[in-house]
Amino acid sequence: MMNQQSKAKKVLQALRSGLVPLEGVSLISTGNEAIFDALINELIETTQGSSSFKFVIGNYGAGKTFIASTVREMAFARNMLVSTLTISQENPFHKLEDFYKGLLRRLRLPDQPSIAALPIVMEEWMIAQEERICSLYQLNKSNDKEVLNEMMHQCLKDAFHAMGQIDSSFSRAVRAYYQARNQKDEVLSNAALGWIKGEKIRAETKKMMKVKGEVDRQQALIFMQAILKMMKSASYKGWVVIVDEMETVLRLRTKTLRQMAYDNLRYLIDEIMQNRFPGCFFLFTGTPELLNSHLGFSSFTPLFDRVYADKDLQFPNLRQGLLYIEPWEKPHFIQTAEKVLKLHQEAYEWTSPPEKIYPFLQQYVEEFFDLRKKGYKLHPRAFLRIWIDLLDKQQIYPEANFETKTLWTDFMLKKAQDTENQQALIDDDNPIKTTD
């Protein structure tokens, strides 16, 4: 478990690189209180067995990824598992089977958010089943291994048979994993786990496990339901699926592929609304172009009709599927800069007289907004990146009088613009290359 100082340093290191922290983002979050209240309510209802979704829509720099990262932390605090996925060439949405693989690859535990969770979840689930059988039939795990093994095989078969739709191959793969686990056959257990995760495995290994084919579009969602059942049986409160940068779908090169992605999303939303994922909450983020562009949801009526809601900033309906967020105003920048200052001082154990540091902060914010008025496209990540650079120098060189200098030098402006352009450059140079 990280102490507070180590967590503060990790948050600052991410921000220093122009990234949103994976952990600790709640330490610097400001604003959007009503939206967070709505999302907390969604998480509470999810832990009680509901399934739902929300889209967070805002322009670049409005704080969508900050909100998604905060939801991740709130879910972990409620003992929920989280998958965080950014739509990309490696994680496309027009192939649900690839989306499924990405979710399992990025599945994380509340107390171990840096390691893959599926093997641990399966192990905990199997131990829970063994303990239930031993308790029910007065068995001893050490002395009644053969009887326990037979009863477990039937239990594993029945667990998914009760769900009706679960492909029998999934049940066979789980049983193969259990058998390999007991026999300490690491090769077979890895193969069984790999097949469940949607990976390609050798034909002879599949024959040994008595499974067929690979995970396809329909099986992807059914397998997700089975894994969700495992999670809840292993005493987790639910599963939160965070899908960031959905607007990446707009860059698919053909209409056919975009329509496939939108139909997959329509299909997923229908399953969610029929509560086929009890205990699962889906959070999507995207820009307004995702909704209104001629390449966006508006081009696919079945999806648009399911998710669209009017934008009402004065009286927003926080129960609807779309949550609109606006760019930060000056008070948000000031409050966040103050929180980052406090975090920096905790991380590196230093202080500065308020009469020195706060005029310095105010000068920094004013110059930032002056540059934006002049047409520079500077957003929160750049603001925080340069602010931390300045705090580093304040702490390292306490004798220097930084508040009397021009804070936004040409070097700093280039650094800030690099932060804003980094993702755009990657996207422009590497569009999602697919063919019909």
Domain CATH code at residue 271: 3.40.50.300
- 3 state SS of 280: strand
Are 337 and 415 members of one domain?
Answer: yes
Are 349 and 416 members of one domain?
Answer: yes
Q: Rounded to the nearest 5 degrees, what angle is found at the Cα of 280, between the Cα atoms of 109 and 180?
A: 50
Model pLDDT, residue 420: 63
**Of 228-232, 300-304, 394-398, where does mean pLDDT reach its minimum?**
394-398
With contact defined as beta carbons under 8 Å apart, do 243 and 282 qualify? yes
**Of 100-109, 314-323, 397-406, where does mean pLDDT reach its minimum?**
397-406
Return the bridge partners of 322, or none.
55
Sheet holding 280-286, edge to edge: 107-108, 81-86, 239-244, 280-286, 51-57, 322-324
Domain boundary among 164, 194, 224: 194
With contact defined as beta carbons under 8 Å apart, do 285 and 241 qualify? no
CA-nearest of 199, 251, 231, 270 to 79 is 231
**Domain annotation covers residue 434:** no
Q: How far apart are CA 118 and CA 106, in angstroms?
A: 9
**Of 7-21, 151-165, 370-384, 390-404, where does mean pLDDT reach its minimum?**
151-165
Dihedral angle computed from the Cα positions of residues 170, 174, 175 and 177, in that order, rounded to the nearest 10 degrees: 140
Dihedral angle computed from the Cα positions of residues 170, 171, 172 and 174, in that order, rounded to the nearest 10 degrees: 90
With contact defined as beta carbons under 8 Å apart, do 294 and 301 qualify? no
Domain boundary among 291, 324, 357: 324
Are 356 and 406 members of one domain?
Answer: yes
Residue carrying structure tokens 């598992």: 81
**Domain annotation covers residue 207:** no
Dihedral angle computed from the Cα positions of residues 425, 418, 332 and 35, in that order, rounded to the nearest 10 degrees: 20
Q: Rounded to the nearest 5 degrees, what angle is found at the Cα of 72, between the Cα atoms of 17 and 417?
A: 25
Its pTM stands at: 0.88
Model pLDDT, residue 432: 40
Tens of pLDDT along 297-342? 999 999 999 999 888 878 989 999 999 998 888 999 999 999 999 9
Model pLDDT, residue 426: 37
CA-nearest of 17, 71, 114 to 285 is 71
Are 296 and 348 members of one domain?
Answer: no
**Of 143-147, 247-251, 268-272, 299-303, where does mean pLDDT reach its minimum?**
143-147
Number of compact structural domains in the chain: 3
Are 51 and 105 members of one domain?
Answer: yes
Domain boundary among 301, 324, 347: 324
Checking if the pLDDT of 167 tops 70, the result is no
Q: How confident is the model at residue 114 (pLDDT cuts 50, 70, 90)?
A: confident
Sign, CA dihedral 132-82-93-309, equals positive
Q: How far apart are CA 164 and CA 160, in angstroms?
A: 7
Are 276 and 291 members of one domain?
Answer: yes
Query: Considering the chain, what percentage of its residues have pLDDT values greater than 90?
Result: 59
Tens of pLDDT along 263-273? 999 999 999 99
**Domain annotation covers residue 10:** no
Are 278 and 349 members of one domain?
Answer: no
Q: How far apart are CA 297 and CA 82, in angstroms?
A: 26
Model pLDDT, residue 354: 82
Are 100 and 242 members of one domain?
Answer: yes
Q: How far apart are CA 265 and CA 51, in angstroms?
A: 15
Tell me the CB-side half-sphere exposure of residue 412, using CA atoms within 13 A: 19
Are 292 and 244 members of one domain?
Answer: yes
Amino acid occupying residue 217 = R
CB atoms within 10 A of CB 185: 15
The pLDDT mean for the chain works out to 88
Question: Per the structure block, which two tokens stand in for 135?
Answer: 């308790």
**Domain annotation covers residue 24:** no
Q: Which one-letter DSSP state was computed for residue 33?
A: H
Checking if the pLDDT of 209 tops 80, the result is yes
Are 92 and 142 members of one domain?
Answer: no
- 3 state SS of 75: helix
Tell me the CB-side half-sphere exposure of residue 233, using CA atoms within 13 A: 22
Residue carrying structure tokens 């089977």: 97
Checking if the pLDDT of 410 tops 70, the result is no
Q: How far apart are CA 94 and CA 154, in angstroms?
A: 37
Residues spanned by the domain of 179: 122-194
**Domain annotation covers residue 9:** no
Are 362 and 382 members of one domain?
Answer: yes
**Domain annotation covers residue 11:** no
**Domain annotation covers residue 291:** yes
With contact defined as beta carbons under 8 Å apart, do 368 and 383 qualify? yes
Model pLDDT, residue 68: 94
In this prediction, residues 1-11 reach a mean pLDDT of 85
Model pLDDT, residue 425: 39
**Domain annotation covers residue 157:** yes
Model pLDDT, residue 187: 92
What element of type H or E holds 416? Answer: helix 410-429
